[in-house]
Amino acid sequence: MLTFLKRGVLAGVVCGLLAGAFGFLLAEPVMDRAVDLETARQAAAGEHVSETFSRPTQHVGFLVATLAVGIALGVLFGVLYGLLHRADPEQAPWQRALHLGGCAFFGAYLVPFLRYPANPPGVGDPGTIDARANSYLSALAIGLVGAVLLGLAQRGLTERGWRPSYRQLGLVAVAVLTVAITFALPDNIDPIPVDAGLIWEFRLLSFATSALLWGGLSVAFGLLGERAALREDACNLSPV
């Protein structure tokens, strides 16, 4: 397990730096525009405008936070990978890492995002923050259950010898059902006083940043696993 944890930390550093650089270069300028619009709106309404931290400080905080999130996800990824490896040590490291990463991205990010897309600062009534947080956490819980079901379905259908096309249809059905269940949750009825183009640009960049985070974690972890497997094979083949 310690080997997988070390691998997860290293992969987490890689994906955290990649996602942080992407977000800093592309997503943060969009965030700056949204903050400027919200500040102008508050000033026009006569509201007091104050910043706990300046935007440059927040930019640095974003990079640090992304790296910290990458490392934390890497540790969790290593633990889950180790448990899966213990249950099935014969599966290829690359394949297992990609399957685990795909399920994790689906459950931990994609499902909640599809139900409650990310919004830039200033969007949402402060009075509804608890209700919005509870709704998001409910969507997250549904997504995580769906991710587990996806993994179980993948394994079960493979063991039963289903054709690849049928397996894919079965997995798509599980994914669609998971997302559909989230629409039983309350809608977010807060007004969005921001240009629609800015909103969707922010959402797409947020999605891309998270996809890069999870994708980079899965690929980096899988490559490290393949490298370790090749070294182990070379040691086994070397003459005594």
Q: Kindly state the DSSP code that residue 193 receives in the 8-state scheme.
A: -
pLDDT number for residue 237: 57
Q: What is the pLDDT of residue 86?
A: 85
Instruction: Please state, in angstroms and rounded to a whole number, the distance separating the CA atoms of residues 172 and 162.
Output: 14
Return the pLDDT at 202: 83
The pLDDT value recorded for residue 23 is: 82
List the structure tokens of 172. 């798509």
Domain boundaries, the chain: 2-237
Would you state the pLDDT for residue 175?
A: 94
Q: Which residues of the chain have pLDDT under 70?
A: 34-55, 121-126, 192-194, 232-240
Q: What local confidence, expressed as pLDDT, does residue 216 receive?
A: 92
Q: Give the pLDDT of residue 151.
A: 86
Give the pLDDT confidence score for residue 39 in this predicted structure. Answer: 61
32: number of Cβ within 10 Å: 15
pLDDT at 142: 96
